[in-house]
Structure 1
Amino acid sequence: MESVLVHNIGELVTNDATLERGLLGVLTDAAVLINDGVVVEVGSSSALAATPVDRRIDAGGAAVLPGFVESHSHLVFAGDRSAEFAARMAGEPYAAGGIRTTLAATRAASDRELAANVARLAEEYARQGTTTVECKSGYGQTVDDEHRSLHAAATGTDEVTLLAAHVCPPEFDGRIDDYVAYVVDKMVPQCAQDARWIDVFCERGAFDVDQSRTVLQAGARAGLGVRVHGNQLSHSGGVQLAVELGAASVDHVCHTDDADHEALAASDTVATVLPGADFSTRNRYPDARRMIDAGVTVAIGADCNPGTSYTTSLPFCIALAVRELRMTVDEAVWGATAGGAQALQRSDVGVLRPGNRADLIMLGAPSHTHLAYRPGVPLIRTVVRSGRPLSE
């Protein structure tokens, strides 16, 4: 067991609502006492200064906040889709069918190659302050390839999601209902033990509401929590389906109306915005301001994937959310930390309070506002996960 004191913190974002210090629970001249990877006490630096510990980390007056929580990523893949990106930037529209390019490359890749890609991107996330990562399958779409994908995801991330219903694979062209039956009858029973969540792409070019409901209900019967890709390209019905099924989160939410906002606000379903995907596809951004004002809980994810959001930078997504989604800086920082944790139904991360995992990031800046104020600048100075600096 090792005890650690992070002290001389100029501004500490705790996200602890019990402190009654605004949305972020901000403390100044603060310190965090850690024992065996868990937060023991959060308080003033002067009050905790004399505490005997094995190690001291001097923040030098910088800002410290919880590690970012990524609740939506697709890291199990092979191949490259940069040409598709260049074509979009030249004016070609985005459609869901580009996923098939990655499908072929992923099926051809070895288990070692897939696991190495997950490890590479998870490490990239960590360097930019993300200490908890969810990862989906969905580029295999056979029982064996989804198994391989889920195992690769588990080697380098914290939360694993079965996304067998990503798009209809080529061998089922014109037979989408047959593919849904294959997912329900074969994939879910044989793959559920390797995942915590079930997800579906409820969208034109992918799966309609009834097909999505069938897949999600099969996953729920197998003991998986429900997540939904919804309303990315159209008003697809994914938001209402997510609320109907008590999903933990509905992600993208670019095309919504007042009825969707009212349903979300009255539910426990988190709306997760993925502004990196909208930036990369020139899709419309979600109306996060309207959602938040309606009482919706909004989280932020990076949606790292090879086709539509090849970024692992939650600081970049925070800056986009502030500039393009009209979120306040505090709302965006909360969305990428406590919001991401809530989207994963995790209470042990995203908030710095006694009993939680000691995941925190130290900025090369005096305030969390600099994450949006200085976009593109590498501000993450130190990353601590479970009480240990990741540089060790």
Structure 2
Amino acid sequence: MTVLYTGIAELVTHDPELGVLTDAAFVTAEDMILWVGPASAAPAADERVFLGERAVVPGFVDSHAHLVFAGDRSAEFAARMAGRPYDGGGIASTMAATRAATDAELRALVTARVAEMRAQGTTTVEIKSGYGLSVVDEARALAIAVEVTPETTFLGAHVVPPGIDRADYVELVTGDMLAACAPHARWIDVFCEPASKHAFDGDEARTVLTAGRAAGLELRVHGNQLGHGPGVTLAVELGAASVDHCTYLAPSDVDALAGGDTVATLLPGVEFSTRSPYPDARRLIDAGVTVALATDCNPGTCYSSSMPFMIALAVREMGMTVAEALWAATAGGAQALRRTDIGVLAPGKRADFTVLDAPSHLHLAYRPGVPLVVGAP
């Protein structure tokens, strides 16, 4: 059955030929877009849906989220707001709570978090493991995650858990844990932060990533969040799809990103929640780097599932225009996931769209914190 959507005050397509249309319409069939153009030229369809002269944008693509966890770290957040710096150590408390939770409890938590994201316009989400940090718990986290998204990431190399030697843990991550997790994952990730005693240095990160690639997984990297380090250049060298955070960048890091295909995924909710410096998105964009935005929804450093909030932060704090931030939160996220079927509203793409109770996409930053998303009928 074909469906014609009309009553669109503004349609942001992110298609180079279509651009931004006013008084627009589009036709879908079986979750695919068949036609896009001015409402006056719309073809006939089996059903017609009027969207109330609202704006329509591509569905948000959240390419970095940690949703499989139990427990609460609000006290840690309050301590950071009172001046305690973040160093990654709080992950151990989430690990304990997650290990103690049943499969049913974790499944219910993930389902609720995904529903919360969808209510705010997110149509595609990537979900990482990383709070089990044992063979059994990492594998069950990914088995639960893959029930709700194909974009699952094995992050056994999140931190070194208490009570195990670093070298032994890297061997576990690249051996038995990888073997148990690879069937449930598309991606492998590593928290590469040599300045942190909890994360992994460049050599350890390379070992993890190359083992993951050998097991058939594609690469992602947490890099340069806490300080300058090798994460960005390692990601570009190995051809990772995305390097995420990118808070501390040397000129050579920017040059490497500009010369490669790795997307710089920025996570401004983390800086908001940790009182850390924001990444310089303007510097990256002006250098020709592909930039994505994501929530990094997690219990420790950004417990927000709102992509509209990330857009507002990117505009207010990182030097992005509203159009650039929206692109990064949709088409940019799609590129970070190496997806060509989402993030753009054009014939042949998925009909993943978000309706805003506003006349234009500018209201995403103009009205921060206001629940503008009304979804898609």
TM-score tier by shorter-chain length is: over 0.9
- SS of 1:42's equivalent in the other structure is strand
Please give the TM-score of this superposition, normalised by the length of structure 1: 0.94
User: Which residue is equivalent to 1:12?
Assistant: 11
The letter for the 1-side match of 2:359 is P
- Decide which of 315, 335, 359 is 2:328's aligned counterpart: 335
Residues 68-217 of structure 1: matches in 2 within 5 Å? 68-172=60-164, 175-203=165-193, 204-205=196-197, 206-217=199-210
Q: How does 1:345-364 map to 2 (within 5 A)?
A: 345-364=338-357
* Contact 1:272/1:301 (8 A) holds in 2: yes
Contact 1:251 1:273 in 2 (8 A): yes
The one-letter code sitting in structure 2 at the alignment partner of 1:41 is: W
Shift of 1:37: 1.0
- 1:45 equivalent in alignment to 2:39: yes
AA matched with 2:220: R
**Partner residue in 2 for 1:3:** 2
Cα shift at 1:249: 0.1
Q: CA deviation at 1:57?
A: 1.8
> Deviations along 1:183-222, whole A, 9 cap, x unmatched?
1111112211110000000012310000000000000001
Distance 2:305 2:14 in 1: 22
Calculate percent identity across the aligned residue pairs.
Answer: 62
CA drift of 1:171 comes to: 2.5
Identify the residue that residue 228 of structure 2 maps to in structure 1.
235
Q: Structure 2 length as normaliser, TM-score?
A: 0.98
Aligned-residue offset at 1:61 = 1.8
Q: 1:307-336 CA deviation, whole Å, 9 max, x = no partner? A: 110000000000000000011111000000
Q: Deviations over 1:240-278 (max 9, x none)?
A: 010011000000000002111110011110000000011
2-side partners of 1:112 and 1:151: how far apart?
Answer: 12
- Alpha-carbon separation, structure 1, partners of 2:181 and 2:149: 17
- Letter aligned with residue 248 of structure 1: A
Q: Which runs of 5 or more residues in structure 2 are unaligned?
A: none
- What residue in structure 2 maps to residue 320 of structure 1? 313
Partner of 1:252: 245
In structure 1, distance between residues paired with 2:129 and 2:308? 25
Residues paired across the two proteins, number: 374
| Residue 167 of structure 1: how far off its partner (Å) | 0.2
After superposition, what is the alpha-carbon deviation per residue over 1:16-39, rounded to whole angstroms, capped at 9, x for unaligned? 1233xxxxx201111110011100
8 Å contact from structure 2 (residues 3, 45) kept in 1:
no
Deviations 1:63-85 (A, max 9, x none): 10110000000000000000000
Q: How does 1:367-386 map to 2 (within 5 A)?
A: 367-381=360-374, 383-384=375-376
Report the Cα distance in structure 1 between the residues aligned to 2:347 and 2:312, rounded to whole angstroms. Answer: 29
- Tell me, what secondary structure is at the counterpart of 1:41? strand
Alpha-carbon distance in structure 2 between the residues aligned to 1:18 and 1:45: 17
- Secondary structure of 1:155 counterpart: coil
Separation (CA, whole Å) in 2 of partners of 1:142 and 1:340: 29
Partner Cα separation in structure 2 for residue 97 and residue 56 of structure 1? 53
Contact 2:61–2:334 (Cα < 8 Å) also in 1: yes
Aligned residue identity for 1:39: I
In the alignment, is the contact (CA less than 8 A) between 2:218 and 2:240 conserved in 1? yes
Q: Is the 1:122–1:157 contact (alpha carbons within 8 Å) kept by the matching residues of 2?
A: no
Determine the structure 2 residue equivalent to 1:302.
295
Answer yes or no: is the 8 Å Cα contact 2:224–2:248 preserved in 1.
Answer: yes
Q: Partners in 2 of 1:52 and 1:337 — Cα distance?
A: 27
Identify the match of residue 225 of structure 1 among 218, 225, 242: 218
Secondary structure at the counterpart of residue 17 of structure 2: helix
* TM superposition shift of 1:354: 1.0
Deviation at 1:237, TM superposition (A): 1.2
Runs of 4+ in 1 over 6 A off after TM superposition: none
**Aligned partners of 1:70, 1:292: CA distance in 2, in Å?**
19
Q: Which runs of 5+ in 1 are unaligned?
A: 20-24
